Amino acid sequence: MRKKNKDLLVDRLVMLDPHIVVNNTDHKKLIAKVADADPAKGRVNLQFNDGSYGEYGEHMALTLYPKAALLHVLHVEGKSLNLDDYRQVTEVVKAALAGDHEQALILAAENQITFDLCLVNCSDFREMKNRLGESKRQRLK
């Protein structure tokens, strides 16, 4: 059964983009779970660890790339990264594969390289997952 667009994000851990949200250097406080999503309006309702809620544009909420994309980035981009950056990207991928998405988000936000290679906004994530689903359905025909 195919998930609806809104269901792709619901219950997914995200981080508010620290480049947009000013005066907050504690990345852990920027992490929330998507409680509800409205793809037509491009909005997500987030529940933070302290129990508070907030509504944001999908472009402001970042999530990890799908695991297959993270592995692809590590394989393809890894060759051009210096050793320290490669290790940091590897740590993000390890945390994501282990299911520790909160730690993976925190690690991904630590520097610009991991930020750019491992995080995607929710709108682009939805589009990416829909394209992956379409290509899978085409292969199964």
Q: Cα–Cα distance between 114 and 106 in angstroms, integer?
A: 10
What is the predicted pLDDT for the residue at 3?
52
Q: Which two tokens stand for residue 109?
A: 């936000």
Give 100-138 as a DSSP string. -HHHHHHHHTSSHHHHHHHEEEHHHHHHHHHHHHHHHHH
How far does the chain reach from its first CA to its final CA, in angstroms?
16
pTM more than 0.75: yes
pLDDT above 60: residue 5: no
d(CA 67, CA 97): 7
Band (139; pLDDT cuts 50, 70, 90): low
Amino acid present at 21:
V
Q: Which residue has the higher pLDDT, 16 or 138?
A: 16
Residue type, 46: L
pLDDT tens digit sequence for 61-113: 999 998 888 898 888 988 899 999 999 999 999 999 999 999 999 999 999 99
Q: Which residue bears the tokens 């282990």?
A: 98
C-alpha span between 91 and 89 (Å, rounded): 5
